[in-house]
Amino acid sequence: MVLQTILLIGLVCSSVLAILFRDLLKSAIALAVGSLLLGIIFFRMDAPYAGVFEISVVAGLITVLFMLTIALTKGGEARESKAISIAFPAFFIVFVAIDVLIMRKLLQKIPALAGPGETGTFGQFLWNARTFDLVGQIAVIFAGVFAVLALFRKGKDNDE
C-alpha cells in the first residue's frame, strides 16, 4: 500500500501541476503523466484492462489531441490571473484537512455492499453482462465522428 500511496500522491501532484502550469503544453504533458500513473495504479489494483485503456487511450490519444489543439490555437491563450495560482495552495490545504476529518469520521461507518460474485473472464463479462454498453459505445463513437465531421465541414466561411 506504501507504493500505491506514493503513486496516488504523484497522480494528485501531476493533476495539480496540470491546472497550475501557465504553459498549456506543459499542462497537457502533466495530464499525460497523471494518466500514466493512474494506469499503473489500475494495474496494481488488479484491473489490467482499465490500465491498458487508461495508458493507451487517455495518456496517448487524448494527449495527442490536446497538443494538436494547442498547436492550432497558438496565440489565442487567455492568460490566467496570478491570484488563482497563489490562492490555490490555501484552498487545497483547507480542503485536504476537511477531507481527512470527514474520511476519519466515516471510517467503518459505510457498510460494504454485497458483490455479485463474478465468474469468467473480462471478455465474457463485457460481452454477456454489458452488451448494451457496447452498443452504446459504438453509438457514441459514431456520434463523435459525425460531430467532428460536421464541425470541420467546408462551408462558405472556410473556403477563403
Partner 1 sequence: MNNVWFVYMFFVAVLLFTGIYCLLTMRNLIKLFIGIEVIGKGVSLAFIATGLANKSMLAAQSLVVTYIVVEVSLVATALALIINLYRKTRSLDIRQLAKLKG
125 alpha carbon, distance to own chain's centre: 24
Residue 156 beta carbon to partner 1: minimum distance, rounded to whole angstroms: 13
**Cα gap 34→17, rounded to integer Å:** 10
Residue at grid coordinates 467532428: 148
Nearest CA to 88 out of 15, 159, 34, 141 is that of 15
Residue 39 beta carbon to partner 1: minimum distance, rounded to whole angstroms: 10
**Cα gap 132→143, rounded to integer Å:** 16
Residue at grid coordinates 464541425: 151
23 binds partner 1 per the rule CB under 8 A: no
60 binds partner 1 per the rule CB under 8 A: no
Residue 127 beta carbon to partner 1: minimum distance, rounded to whole angstroms: 10
10 binds partner 1 per the rule CB under 8 A: no
**Cα gap 20→70, rounded to integer Å:** 16
Nearest CA to 31 out of 3, 55, 6, 59 is that of 59
Identity of the residue, 77 or 156, whose beta carbon is nearer to partner 1 in the bound complex: 77
Identify residues 31-50 at the interface with partner 1 (CB under 8 A).
Answer: 31, 34-35, 38, 41-42, 45-47, 49-50
Identify residues 68-87 at the interface with partner 1 (CB under 8 A).
Answer: 68-70, 72-73, 75-78, 80, 84
122 binds partner 1 per the rule CB under 8 A: yes
CA distances to 4, 144, 150 from 147, rounded to whole Å, are 39, 5, 5
15 binds partner 1 per the rule CB under 8 A: yes
Identify residues 129-158 at the interface with partner 1 (CB under 8 A).
Answer: 129-130, 133, 136-137, 140-141, 143-144, 147-148, 151-152
Residue 58 beta carbon to partner 1: minimum distance, rounded to whole angstroms: 6
